[in-house]
Amino acid sequence: METELETTIKEEAELSETEAAAPGSAAELTARLISREAEVARLNRELADKDDLIVRLNKSLNAAVGAYRGSTAALHPGLPEELIEGDSVSAVDESLRKAMDLVARVKSALARAAPPLVAASRSRLADGVSLSPEDKIRRGLAL
């Protein structure tokens, strides 16, 4: 059987091994924890600053795209302004291309569907019956 002294020596050796395996004293651990918390706080501030920067840049981008959309509409007065849309420069360019294609197709369809113009008969104009009252007065004053 082990004596009380041997048991105590054995426990002391185990305790020494445990302390040797531990990374440091409580003061060292507290200092490391405080250092890590300070680092986390600094990183959180940097993250908040980056988030603010992203918000400001997005506002600036939206304003620039809006100005580009307005300038594009002003440069193409033959296109309905409502057809020029988009939240990026490439989207505005794409909608401009589509609007130009649409307007060209509509103009082409209208040109094909327009009835031919027929010249009015001079005899109808000569008698004055088909003239408006205003034209009749002008004609009478001219005589």
pLDDT in tens, the chain (143 residues): 567 767 777 777 776 666 665 556 888 889 999 999 999 999 999 999 999 999 999 999 999 999 999 999 999 999 999 999 999 999 999 999 999 999 999 999 988 887 766 665 555 555 667 788 888 888 888 77
In this structure, is residue 19 part of a structural domain? no
In this structure, is residue 120 part of a structural domain? no
35: Cα within 13 Å, side-chain hemisphere: 6
In this structure, is residue 119 part of a structural domain? no
In this structure, is residue 38 part of a structural domain? yes
Distance CA 91, CA 98 (A): 11
pTM value > 0.75:
no
Q: Indicate the number of domains in the chain.
A: 1
In this structure, is residue 59 part of a structural domain? yes
Residue 96 in contact with residue 84, Cβ under 8 Å?
A: yes
Burial per residue of 32-53, b for 16 or more beta-carbon CB atoms within 10 angstroms, e otherwise: eeeeeeeeeeeeeeeeeeeeee
Instruction: Show the domain range for 98.
Output: 24-111
Place of tokens 């054995």: 10
